[in-house]
Amino acid sequence: MLLNERTKFTDKEIIEKGSRALIKELGYSGFLRFIRCSEGISKQDYLELEDELFKDMSLDEIYDNAKENWENIK
């Protein structure tokens, strides 16, 4: 993980800055829609989701897929 000044924000600061960025990009109604749609996301257990997503994949396969995806979005 790369360290930079942004990693020094508290959770509260991250939420505030993220909310401002979403409001700027989506407007207030879009921001509220985003919050409403994403409410269930945080209730999922990330580790269970991760196990399901990467089931039967080696670390090399995960890396190769991530690298390919990254190159395709450039």
What is the chain's pLDDT, residue by residue, as a tens digit (74 residues)? 455 565 688 888 888 899 999 999 998 888 888 888 887 666 666 677 778 878 888 999 988 888 887 787 66
Alpha carbon distance 20, 13 (integer Å): 11
pTM given for the model: 0.45
Do residues 19 and 31 make contact, with C-beta atoms less than 8 angstroms apart?
yes
